[in-house]
Chains A and B, each alone.
Chain A
Amino acid sequence: MKLTVMVNGRQVAAEVEDRTLLVHFVRDVAGLTATNIGCDTSSCGACTVLLDGQSVKSCTVLAAQADGCEVVTVEGLAGPDGELHPMQSAFHAEHGLQCGFCTPGMVMAAVSLLRENPAPTEEQVRSGLEGNLCRCTGYHNIVRAVLAAAEAGAEVTR
């Protein structure tokens, strides 16, 4: 089938198999490989992107379901001049990543979390990230990063 998805502000039109998962559309058709696949049961959240502004697990969305919609990945967060999004800065400042594999999905889940709850408690951050597994960090610094980004306020809803 033919479909068009706006990915990080760019229209991506392609003809793909009906069963194409959104995550493969993003990685292989749009060529944006930051978003990773970490499981096959919608459990790990590594594939999290924003779909029309809301975090979704792109492995559990068909590209067809995103036809005509807007997708934002971590590659689309920084400003046009390369200026880091406050969430990216916060992850960096707080050492919220180690191997980096869960990071793109984690960052997008966190951006969505703060959009819906701009001033979360630590407990709300932890439960808000329950759909994102990390094996390296023990989550401690990820939580600090999200709370720091919340403090930075303002620009988070770019």
Chain B
Amino acid sequence: MSILGTRVVRTEDPRLLTAGGTYVDDVRVPELAGAARVTFVRSPMAHARITGIDASAARDAPGVVAVLTYRDINDIPPPPPPPEGGPPPGSEAAPLPLGGPWQEPLLAVDKVRFVGESVAIVLTDGSYQGEDAAELVTVDYEPLPAVVGIDAALAGGTLLFPDAGSNVPVAHPAGDLAFDGCDVVVEREIVNQRVAPVPMEGRATAASWVDGKLTVWVSTQNAQISRFILAGAFGLDPGAIRVIAPDVGGGFGAKVALDRDAIVVAWAARHTGRALRWVETRSENLTGMTHGRAQRHAIKIGGTRDGRVLAYRLDVVQDTGAYPRMGGFLPTLTNLMAAGPYDIAHVGAGYRVVVTTTTPISAYRGAGRPEATAAIERAMDLFAAEIGMDPADVRRKNLVPSDRFPYHTPTGAVYDTGDYVGGLDKVLAGAGYADLRAEQARRRKRGDAVQLGIGVSSYVEITAADAEGGETARVEVHDDGTAMVYTGSSAHGQGHHTAWAMIVQADLGIPMDKVTVKHGDTDEIPLGTGTYASRSLQLGGVAVHRANLEVREQARKLAADLMEASEADLELDTDTGRWQVRGDPGSSRTWADVASHAGAEGLTAFVHYTDGAPTFPFGSHVAVAEVDTETGKVTLVRHVTVDDAGTVLNPVLTEGQRHGGIAQGVAQALLEEMVYDADGNPLTGTLVDYAAITAAELPSFELLVSETPATVNPLGAKGIGEAGTIGATPAMQSAVIDALSHLGIRHIDMPTTPMRVWTAISEARASQ
């Protein structure tokens, strides 16, 4: 009986619950004994010329080791030039990050372009001294006009990068699309607002140079990629660098690879010859860590009066913040997934990227795909409202039928497997959709102050989009019968150690408590990709599985020799973890026996699994909201979901990912927004004002089971990490609008704060 598919609690937990995790600020190793503390001096201005930096008072402050600015960065290679002629012809992806005229300095040189930009660093013996000294660094700023919002960027009155000639680093506008033959066409401009990832642990890096070799501890999702970035930054061979990802307190895409401030810390450690540690504060994090989303959508949907959608056009403007980092790439994913789970004959998608004097944008749970789903789901609801059809019925009519897979979208995606209609029907049944509509009708008839809204979303998303990069695994079985897995994946809460140990137990019969999993140390695992794009189970887990199979075949040979039997007569009982001659239990040997027979090279296999392919999880959500029409306050009452990511390895882990995803998705629809004033000052710069969602705002979720296996990998797995977020946001937003549709309200932008909702209600009532 395989352990795969069963509920297994995590092996990671006992340590985390008793001694606590070891995050960068907790690392206590000899190399960091006496490490100085790094405090960044950051710009309080959104856009300004720097006319002087005076660090003299700071340098004299107690405990100060050094105060460093861009002038001191004279000992590393300059950034590489951008590819000649710009992005390769026909390429839809902007190279990341853009260099040339858009080059981002490590520490500000003559200009700052967002509040929070790094200007200088102060190194002190003690951490408290850092803030004291940083206050004494005087930076003279000559203000420049801020550029806040997409319209200001497009207007081009003020350029962030005058040498670039515009505020638009990338433009691939949607072409014309024919809406002939559509009885009904609806157009709207909608906002997918800027949010902050807010991992509970912010950014943190420690660095130590010893004899020309650099060791960096960093809160990252990708230790190996970080090593390559550092190698490039310092002009070093990667072998001279060790990157360690200790426990990481959440990432959500914002800790992909290496933050630029981490490079500054590593550089400063070499420059001063002192080990350093930097742990950002939350206020720093809210403006210094990249933000997510920040797209504006022009959506146009057309179809027949009986509910068939014939054409859909999505034009995205991505506000990428002050520097085009990954933000320049995300809209390509939005465009790719523009059609959602629907069979629409004509789909056109395009995008532009603009820079503004705000925090740069990068990946955040879903990274470009939540935006696509939010847009098509709004479009479907607007279309449904226009033709007076139930939004669930419109979806059912247009979802890709189950006999059409693999399904090729007009945008170039190939959906592998799915049961979209089944998922929709399952969630509607689970939610008791008809009863909900009846309750809604009752409340409307009574004219209740508190109205009920039902939001339905259907989605498909792409996971392991970069499958060709693959993932690595090395599996070793030791002389004592224990096993070690070295994985290229990089869990920061996902429970990979538990999941990979389950795979070893399933494949080799070595019990989980004898399996140790390691990740995140480039000395032990020099090759690997890490964790993002919901790729780890379907690539990293499969790599472990493949390595297990290779170990099994090596072991077969060893066992045959040890037991003086032919390989063909040997079998491995994965329930007991014993090798035996078929039909002769008395012959059985343990893994310890077999591994001991391996000799000096040991019993080990390494796999770099690159045969995977992107997969397409899908699902449907129903959100039930109560809206107090006298105040605009929204309460999420129920949230029911189908999130189908193929074969489930461990329902405990999958459910946890769905819960967390749903919460963040609901949070964007209901509460969270990074707000800037017209001068580029963040108005939500602390957790008092940035409304991160708490337990009190959420109900328990109702998760339904659906497993439509992937066919492109032996585990049947797709990625679950981001799916919950992608489905939840539009369902929540839709529920709020649905609660008020009887007032004639067709749209409310996110977040549906009480004031925004009440404003929509008052305007609707006034126009009646």
Contact = CB atoms under 8 A, between A and B. Distances in A.
Direct contact of A and B (CB under 8 A): yes
A122 B25 CA distance: 34
B597 to A, nearest CB: 37
B17 A137 contact: no
Contacts, number: 185
B493 to A, nearest CB: 3
Contacts of A135: 197-200, 250, 252, 660, 664, 692
Contacts of A74: 17-18, 20
A151 interface: no
B247 A99 contact: yes
A37 B285 CA distance: 13
Interface in B623-662: 652-653, 655-656, 659-662
A119 interface: no
Contact of B201 (A19, A35, A36): A36
Interface string B10-30: 101110111111110110100
A84 B16 CA distance: 12
A100 B701 contact: no
Nearest to B494: A98
A150 interface: no
A143 B695 CA distance: 8
B248 interface: yes
Given A99-B247, A100-B12, A138-B659, A46 B17 contact: no
Sort chain A's interface into a size bin.
35 or more
Given A93-B9, A135-B660, A41 B200 contact: no
Contacts of A92: 9-10, 13-14, 17
B201 A38 contact: yes
A78 interface: yes
A82 to B, nearest CB: 8
Nearest to B656: A95
Contact of A126 (B14, B660, B664, B696): B696
Contacts of B282: 38-41, 43-44
A104 B656 CA distance: 18
Interface string B659-701: 1111110000000000000000000001110001011101011
Most interface-central of A35, A104, A138 (chain B CB within 10 A): A138
A75 B200 contact: no
Nearest to B202: A38
Interface string B182-213: 00000000000000011111100000000000
What is the predominant secondary structure among interface residues of chain B facing chain A?
loop
B128 interface: yes
Interface in A100-154: 100-104, 107, 122, 125-127, 129-144
Given A75-B18, A122-B700, A130 B694 contact: yes
B17 A138 contact: no
A141 B659 contact: yes
A88 interface: yes
B331 interface: no
A107 B17 contact: yes
27 contacts: A33-B20, A33-B25, A33-B26, A35-B20, A40-B281, A40-B283, A41-B686, A43-B282, A78-B18, A88-B18, A92-B13, A92-B14, A97-B16, A97-B17, A100-B249, A107-B17, A122-B700, A130-B696, A132-B695, A133-B198, A135-B197, A135-B250, A135-B664, A138-B663, A139-B694, A140-B659, A142-B695
Query: What are the 10 tightest A-B residue pairs by CB atom distance, in nearest-first order?
Result: A34-B20, A101-B249, A138-B663, A98-B493, A99-B493, A138-B659, A43-B687, A100-B16, A39-B282, A139-B695
Given A102-B200, A139-B663, 11 more contacts: A33-B25, A39-B282, A82-B18, A95-B652, A103-B20, A133-B687, A135-B252, A136-B660, A137-B663, A140-B663, A140-B701
Interface of B: 9-10, 12-14, 16-23, 25-26, 28, 127-128, 197-202, 247-250, 252, 281-283, 492-495, 652-653, 655-656, 659-664, 686-688, 692, 694-696, 698, 700-701
